Structure 1
């Protein structure tokens, strides 16, 4: 199988155009006899965003090399289609069972690429189906993917493509991920039917806006469930793609003067846009704070420290974002006795390159007791303004007290 692969495998290099030297490398593979090839979006993102500064070239596993043209991208699925100056070349085909979602778990798979610029390599692993509790469809592949293999094919024993190498999980062993082949096939069909995207930078903005609108629609449609935390009821999303954890300061040294028990739910829905910009994460956290030996003024100072309303995460501030603006006020979400008065801080910043998208942080502190309080935080990356307002309102209205 591997002996027949070299004419179909590629190393794709991003070069600084004026210097002619590589700045990053990845892998790719031919999917048609007229030189169309698949790779990852993150392998070619510099050229997509700054085509006057960077250019692409390929080096084939069979020793061939030449120029590469970027035709189209699928940012949410981290894919790109490129064209090479090759004609009548052998190419990979997609596996039908994988396309139909009918591949059994435990199937042996073989990943190919150029790890760490060491030369083309084949890695054996196991198909484990789609990752559970994930917003983005990714295949769990128990094989060793390494930097440089991104964009290469993972194939069956018959040599048909099941997925595209995309990532590995740091902190784990043989935990890697593939983009399902059906997304590459869909992008390839779009290129053949429509031709190259007219303006890739504008196309990236359009795709980000559409994918984020779909993400937050799912979030809004499924709503919140109520979860107890001390004498309060807190909103927790019902979507399946948030991972929730808890922590406490009960065993801290020196002994804390206030008890702080926190729950945090974080999404895995982040999108790679550029090497210095990842967007799309969602986070909900709640901290129940109760004094041990702090007086009311000291507790108020602690709560102020815990409730700083700044937007977190993202990329380089000046390059990608407008300045952050915050507004703080006291709000009463309803007249009902189970709705505590709140001190709320709303912070937002806009994306310079992508119209209509904002990063938002909403922090609320309950104002119903002098010895304990709930600090709740909602962080939303790359969200439309109307969706942010709707989610923020629903979040505040879901905060309750059962004391």
Structure 2
């Protein structure tokens, strides 16, 4: 009897969820749109996403990445909407938040009565059923029930963890509570029913920047630069002011927990009986990056320490291994030659405040569109042992030079011998 009651409860909950989804779709389908980026020369869509209307003036919210092609090349693309009834029309880009992947666009052709999605006043309780709406794979609008799991842990950019299917084309669609009030925006999926949403607070921040007039095209790139600079200044400040927890690695002590936003992992080759050297690694990274356009990501941070012991190899062979490990380090973010310059590197021999001597390489590449932003790659190899040593490495994406140099000094000074 108990199992029957549990099954009855689950069936009733499922049926109620399906009924709520149907009600939401019928009530709000006219306020839900496909957002299309049209390539002007061909007249065909280049990419699609979703969006939703929030007021009678025709303002809609979508993802920044949905309209990013237009932001980067407004002479090649235009933005338009498509309704569930097949009607289409032009959209203006009013403003955007590149860091939180949000954009505000506006219909220039309004009907007498415009349906809208109301914005929620608060997030639901953890475990509550919520509903994601969008246009997956260009197949038409759907409603996907899922579970609100709160804000993702250790998330600098504050994403909601959503148990439910978010598929390509649903980006920019609303996620609503049972009353149809928007409390998030679809943004990404990790597969296996794991989705991520932009939370209500970020929507509210975008709307506080709302202006009657669209952001001028001439200010698109400068707005991106300003937002990236502000974000990275805040992120690096929080990391540098956090307590850096130290842990042993080989004969060194290295930072293994730097702030609450970086996730850290370890590995070694100790189970490889044929290995002629010992390799033990600690890696930390920010799991989130900022999408700028299809070939460029920014905002990422990676840190890595590797202890190598090659006493079985002998001094000469170990030096060759050590050198190849240093050469193998690379950038931590995607970028193309149209976006960034080649790396310019400086080699130094440095002794830090703990009397650890290292050969270091500090490389910087500039963003071509953003004069004050750089990607930074640092590699250091200790010189105090002949057949063993520590290789330290970090990458910073989209930072100012002063911030990068300050972080580099703190990073180097954190290393000490046991």
The normalised TM-score by structure 1 is 0.94
**Whole-Å Cα distance in 1 between the matches of residues 335 and 159 of structure 2?**
27
Q: Secondary structure at the match of 2:253?
A: strand
1:95 corresponds to which of 120, 125, 142: 120
2:260 is the alignment partner of 1:240: yes
Q: Secondary structure at the match of 2:356?
A: coil
1:378 corresponds to which of 394, 412, 416: 394
Q: Tell me the CA shift for residue 311 of structure 1.
A: 4.2
**Whole-Å Cα distance in 2 between the matches of residues 274 and 252 of structure 1?**
41
1:81 corresponds to which of 97, 104, 107: 104
Q: Secondary structure at the match of 1:307?
A: helix
1:294 corresponds to which of 308, 313, 325: 313
Q: Secondary structure at the match of 1:215?
A: helix
2:54 is the alignment partner of 1:34: no
Aligned to 1:229: 249
Gaps of 5+ in 1: none
The normalised TM-score by structure 2 is 0.90
The worse-fitting range, judged by mean Cα deviation, of 138-147 and 305-314 is 305-314
Q: Tell me the CA shift for residue 108 of structure 1.
A: 0.7
Aligned to 1:191: 210
CA contact (8 A) 2:93 2:215 kept: no
Aligned to 1:258: 277
Q: Show the 5 A alignment for 1:53-72.
A: 53-72=76-95
Q: Show the 5 A alignment for 1:4-403.
A: 4-84=27-107, 85-87=109-111, 88-98=113-123, 103-169=124-190, 172-192=191-211, 195-198=213-216, 199-222=219-242, 224-252=244-272, 255-308=274-327, 311-334=330-353, 338-402=354-418
CA contact (8 A) 2:256 2:282 kept: no
CA contact (8 A) 1:135 1:268 kept: no
CA contact (8 A) 2:297 2:335 kept: no
* RMSD after superposition: 1.5
The worse-fitting range, judged by mean Cα deviation, of 152-161 and 61-70 is 61-70
Gaps of 5+ in 2: 1-23
CA contact (8 A) 2:159 2:198 kept: yes
Q: Secondary structure at the match of 2:365?
A: strand
**Whole-Å Cα distance in 2 between the matches of residues 70 and 361 of structure 1?**
35
**Whole-Å Cα distance in 1 between the matches of residues 332 and 409 of structure 2?**
22
Q: Secondary structure at the match of 2:209?
A: helix
Deviation per CA, 1:335-374: give whole Å up to 9, x if none: xxx5221111111111111121111111111111112111
**Whole-Å Cα distance in 1 between the matches of residues 398 and 33 of structure 2?**
34
CA contact (8 A) 2:280 2:308 kept: yes
**Whole-Å Cα distance in 1 between the matches of residues 207 and 364 of structure 2?**
37
**Whole-Å Cα distance in 1 between the matches of residues 188 and 308 of structure 2?**
38
Q: Tell me the CA shift for residue 5 of structure 1.
A: 1.6
The worse-fitting range, judged by mean Cα deviation, of 17-26 and 197-206 is 197-206
**Whole-Å Cα distance in 1 between the matches of residues 360 and 62 of structure 2?**
45
